[in-house]
Amino acid sequence: MISGFFIFNQKGEVLISRLYRTDLRRSIADVFRIQVISNSDVRSPIITIGSMSFFHVRINNLYVLACTKNNANAALVFEFLYRFISVSKSYFGKVDEESVKSNFVLIYELIDEIIDFGYPQTSETDTLKMYITTEGVRTAPAAEESSKITIQATGVTNWRRTDVKYKKNEAFVDVVETVNLIMSAKGTILRADVDGHIMMRAYLSGTPECKFGLNDKLVLDKSERGVEGAVELDDCRFHQCVRLEGFDTDRTISFIPPDGEFELMKYRSTANVNLPLKVIPTINEVGTTQVSYLVSVKANFNNKLNATNVVIKIPTPLNTTQVDCKVAVGKAKYVPSDNVIIWKIPRMQGGSETTLSGTAMLTSTTHRQAWTRPPIDVDFQVLMFTASGLIVRFLKVFEKNNYQSVKWVRYLTKASGAYQIRF
């Protein structure tokens, strides 16, 4: 699949290189340096030069590159690159030039274990950490320990050891949703969808079997309770530990969890999205010297909940000289360098409404251009609220020792740069 693996710094210097096939020479690094790193016009993460295809990912000041002459599955190559970055972060934290130079021996050990003859083998961090350690193994492992490593690396559940023990057995589930919104100047919703992922931290002894249930529409359609509160989920993607045949039949998520933190599931929802904040802007140009602002924000969720870290960026014309604005809640400030009024509200209770009013003074220009009116951007976080309406119905843990476990579920809905209102 992969003929070569490289890591470059932003100057084009090769920090890590490993060739897996004879159809590749090290001089291919010069081609990538000249055609991609030195060429600012190249924006695509995939580029084909001659018969060679280059797949690269940028992280901090580095280029992580895989190249091949075969017709490889692009999604699989990028999954490998991101898995390598994830494994590297788990070993030495931040992935940048300094950390790569400090841990180059470890990185060579990792890529030699992860890839064999250009084919990815195992990228589970827990498995790799059993026999690749940052401090090195001082004594040779016993035969029994070597047997355990082999069983885990090649067994059915290669993502989890069998001898995990905890004094207190706990499972934490975080449902994190990002809301994307584009609303027209007339108040029509042009786009509203939710990107969600379910993170889990499992501190459970042994090899427990977990069952996870959601208020998925396909589940509730079959039940006697009807479809009230049901959620339509699209594009569901799961961690490799999930048994997909169980999900296809009765929509329950059954799995043996890895030890520690992992991403259990990703999903999208495009139907019946609950918008946490409603923004109503009334912005008018008064002649050629002023712009009046009246922006109302209403919290559309239960009054027992609060929106935190609310940041509303309201654009101003390019020829704005000063802005006078008043707010009842939070603080508002004009930022000339970005041509925006930034309104920050530390905490906003559900059901409440607040308003910003102000006037922007404009300077006269010789050639007056029409104001393009960029959209208003809103960032926020709402704890214990889901825009899709997704609810964890149950989380059960089964283990042969029948121990008691504590389960915690938390919900978070946020917006970051993609919650926009036109005016």
- Transcribe 222-257 into DSSP letters: HSTT-STT-B--EEEEE-TTB-HHHHHHH--EEE-P
Q: Which of 80, 77, 81 is nearest to 63 (CA)?
A: 81
DSSP 207: S
Distance (Å, whole) CA 124 – CA 130: 10
At 224 the pLDDT is: 45
Q: What is the pLDDT of residues 24-39, one digit of tens each?
A: 888 888 998 988 888 8
Amino acid at 73: N
How many residues would you count in the chain? 423
CA distance linking residue 136 with residue 57, whole number of Å: 29
CA distance 295 to 40: 40
**Per-residue pLDDT tens over the stretch 186-222:** 999 999 999 999 999 999 999 899 998 888 765 545 5
Token pair belonging to 199: 């993170």
Residues 6+ apart with CB under 8 A from 421: 181, 183, 279, 281, 375, 376, 378
CB 273 within 8 A of CB 387: yes
- The vertex-154 CA angle with 153 and 159, nearest 5°, equals 50
DSSP-derived letter for residue 375 is: P
- The CA distance from 301 to 275, in Å, is 9
CB atoms near residue 406 (< 10 Å): 11
Q: Would you give per-residue pLDDT tens digits along the chain (423 residues)?
A: 889 999 999 999 999 999 988 888 888 889 989 888 888 888 889 999 888 999 999 998 899 999 998 888 899 999 999 999 988 888 888 888 998 998 888 899 899 889 988 888 888 877 787 778 765 333 344 445 555 555 555 556 677 877 889 999 999 999 999 999 999 999 999 999 999 999 999 999 998 999 988 887 655 455 444 445 678 888 888 988 888 887 777 778 899 999 888 899 999 999 889 999 999 999 998 888 899 999 999 999 999 999 999 999 999 999 899 999 999 999 999 999 999 999 999 999 999 999 999 999 998 876 777 888 999 999 999 999 999 999 998 899 998 888 999 999 999 999 988 999 999
Cα 340 from Cα 315, distance rounded (Å): 4
Cβ(295)–Cβ(265) under 8 Å?
Answer: no
Tell me which residue of 253, 211, 259 sits closest to 236, measured CA to CA: 253
* Sheet of strand 62-68: strand arrangement: 14-19, 4-9, 62-68, 52-59, 46-49
Q: Which residues touch 422 (CB under 8 Å, ≥6 apart)?
A: 182, 183, 184, 185, 373, 375, 376
DSSP 81: H
What is the model's pTM? 0.71
Helix or strand or coil: residue 92?
Answer: helix
C-alpha to C-alpha distance for 14 and 26, rounded to whole angstroms: 10
- Name the helix (H) or strand (E) containing 386: none
